[in-house]
Amino acid sequence: MPNPTAAMLVIGDEILSGRTRDSNMHFLAQEFTRTGVDLREVRFVADDPDAIVAALNDLRASHDTVVTSGGIGPTHDDITADCVARAFGVGIDVREDARAILQAHYDRQGNQMNEARLRMARIPDGATLIDNPVSAAPGFTLGNVHVMAGVPAVFQAMVATVLPTLKGGEPLLSQTLRIERGEGDIAGPLGALAAEFGDLQFGSYPFQKNGVYGANVVVRGTDGARIDAAMTRLSRLMDE
């Protein structure tokens, strides 16, 4: 059986403006690779309700799992929870279990639960909470969509909570061969090898450093023996 598929939706004007560099995609890709979930698509959208809803509905219909990051904080532009509720056609309101988590957190800090902080307890109807051991404000899961914070430390903690609940497949393995020849020289034999090993993925990533140029050829798949065989053939082809 093929591995389950996933998509990621990264939400926020600050990402698209270049003000904030996204690191969550890299982390999620590594974790999904390790657990046998194929991350097939990543989309970046602005803080635009219509764009968020449209992207979310498209991704959740075409992938087994969707992970979102960003837009669940206390400010006016944190609109992800409302957009998820709209996409699923359900209501949204302050939920008492989420409120209790936040209240306990702010009591420990000696801070008041003001209106802005209470926004983070607004959860779409029917969702289950995702634990946030870093800053308390929970994420949530609705259907096949897992809604997480954009702050990397919080995102990573939420991913750790959700991963055990997902049905994974075979972990994706990889090997790399550094070839100091131009891609134009290796494209032909590499293409033929990729066709021969159709169950594997072949990627060529060029480099140029200190006057040396070439490509790192990466072979990926779930069968270690097949990867070994492909790498052996690749090494021989590059020696010819």
CB 147 within 8 A of CB 11: no
Per residue in 175-205, pLDDT (tens digit) is: 999 999 889 889 999 999 999 999 999 999 9
d(CA 46, CA 24) in angstroms, rounded, equals 16
CB 26 within 8 A of CB 10: no
Superfamily classification of domain 5-165? MoaB/Mog-like domain (3.40.980.10)
Report which of 69, 68, 67, 64 is spatially closest to residue 169, judged by C-alpha positions: 64
Report which of 140, 163, 142, 156 is spatially closest to residue 72, judged by C-alpha positions: 140
Domain ranges of the chain: 5-165, 173-239
At residue 35, the 3 state secondary structure works out as: helix
Helices (H), 22-163: 24-35, 49-62, 80-88, 96-109, 115-118, 152-162
Superfamily classification of domain 173-239? Ribosomal protein S10 (3.30.70.600)
Per residue in 126-158, pLDDT (tens digit) is: 999 999 999 999 999 999 999 999 999 999 999
5-165 and 173-239 share one fold: no
Q: What is the dihedral of CA 174, 178, 181, 184, to 10 degrees?
A: 20
Residue 167's pLDDT band, with cuts at 50, 70 and 90, is confident
CB 147 within 8 A of CB 161: no
Can you give the pLDDT at residue 238?
A: 86
Per residue in 43-70, pLDDT (tens digit) is: 999 999 999 999 999 999 999 999 999 9
